[in-house]
Amino acid sequence: TPLPFQVTMRRFGRKLDVERLRAEVPLTAFFFDVLSADGAVLLGEPYTRRFAALEQLVPPQARVPRIVTRDALEAGRFFERAIAAGHEGLMAKALGARYDAGARGAAWLKLKPAHTLDLVVLAAEWGHGRRRGWLSNLHLGARAPDAGGFVMLGKTFKGMTDEMLAWQTAALLSLETSRDEYTVYVRPELVVEVAFNGVQASPQYPGGVALRFARVVRYRPDKRADEADTIATVRRTGHARIEQG
């Protein structure tokens, strides 16, 4: 089962306790591309040419699994198998694309499942730049029934339209309990649907977990705060990966 990135990074650049970490976090190399072969630089070659070279150099068991297909159902099944095996998702690559080191573009796309949770807004920070004057960065919390309150999971300012920013600023100010220079704290009454790509262990927040790439989908006026998702639900969502962390 693949380990979360935050776990494998414990091996990166280590100079102390190297042998102990090798035992605790064993790693195996898998190859997905080749940049040079037999003295020839392949950076400018199309992906099909580079992968053909990789097939000549690396045995199948050491290569990252891949398929080439136009069939959406076949691609979907491949995606589901990757998720079931514990991977975060897939990379979709254009067959004619060259290797642009360090560059982002449409030739390589990350495909990950998006999860959603209904969380409660605990506070919001004033925005900057174009969002100045609006409450923008939301503090998100899950219900903690045993403690009789809410546990913060992180913050997000992503996914909001100008209309949503204007609405939530007015709504949150009506729920204000206190504030400091940057943040307005509110009664935990507003429920918001949040999409995210995963859950990871985090000592930064009281619940011990945080959401990865959280973004707002919509507010849920049809839900009360006591109907929001619990911290136990959040932990179950990311249980396998948190357990390894």
pLDDT per residue over 46-93, tens digit each?
999 999 999 999 999 999 999 999 999 999 999 999 988 888 889 999
- Give the per-residue pLDDT at 189: 97
CATH number at residue 130: 2.40.50.140
Q: Are residues 125 and 219 in the same domain?
A: yes
Rounded to whole angstroms, the Cα distance separating 151 from 95 reads 45
What is the radius of gyration, based on Cα positions, of the chain? 22
Q: Which residues of the chain have pLDDT under 50?
A: 240-245
Number of domains in the chain: 2
CB 186 within 8 A of CB 177: yes
Q: Are residues 36 and 145 in the same domain?
A: no
Q: Are residues 97 and 197 in the same domain?
A: no
Q: Which of 111, 132, 157 is a domain's end point?
A: 111
Name the pairing type of β-strands 40-41 and 36-37: antiparallel
Q: How many Cβ atoms from other residues are within 10 Å of residue 9's Cβ?
A: 12
CATH number at residue 37: 3.30.470.30
Q: Are residues 95 and 42 in the same domain?
A: yes
- Give the per-residue pLDDT at 35: 95
- Give the per-residue pLDDT at 199: 87
Output 86-91 pairs: Cβ under 8 A, ≥24 positions apart: 86/1, 86/2, 86/240, 86/241, 87/2, 88/112, 88/197, 88/198, 89/113, 89/197, 91/32
Q: Which of 51, 82, 111 is a domain's end point?
A: 111
Rounded to whole angstroms, the Cα distance separating 152 from 2 reads 28
Count, in order, helices (H) and strands (E) of the chain.
Answer: 7, 13
Domain interval for residue 45: 31-111
Q: Are residues 134 and 239 in the same domain?
A: yes
**Is 22 part of any domain?**
no
Q: Are residues 228 and 138 in the same domain?
A: yes
**Is 15 part of any domain?**
no
Q: If we measure between CA atoms, which residue out of 173, 242, 229 comes closest to residue 201?
A: 242
- Give the per-residue pLDDT at 45: 96
Name the pairing type of β-strands 135-144 and 198-201: unpaired
Q: Are residues 164 and 230 in the same domain?
A: yes
Q: Are residues 97 and 141 in the same domain?
A: no
Rounded to whole angstroms, the Cα distance separating 159 from 222 reads 20
pTM over 0.75: no
Q: Are residues 119 and 105 in the same domain?
A: no
Q: Are residues 120 and 106 in the same domain?
A: no
Q: Are residues 226 and 182 in the same domain?
A: yes
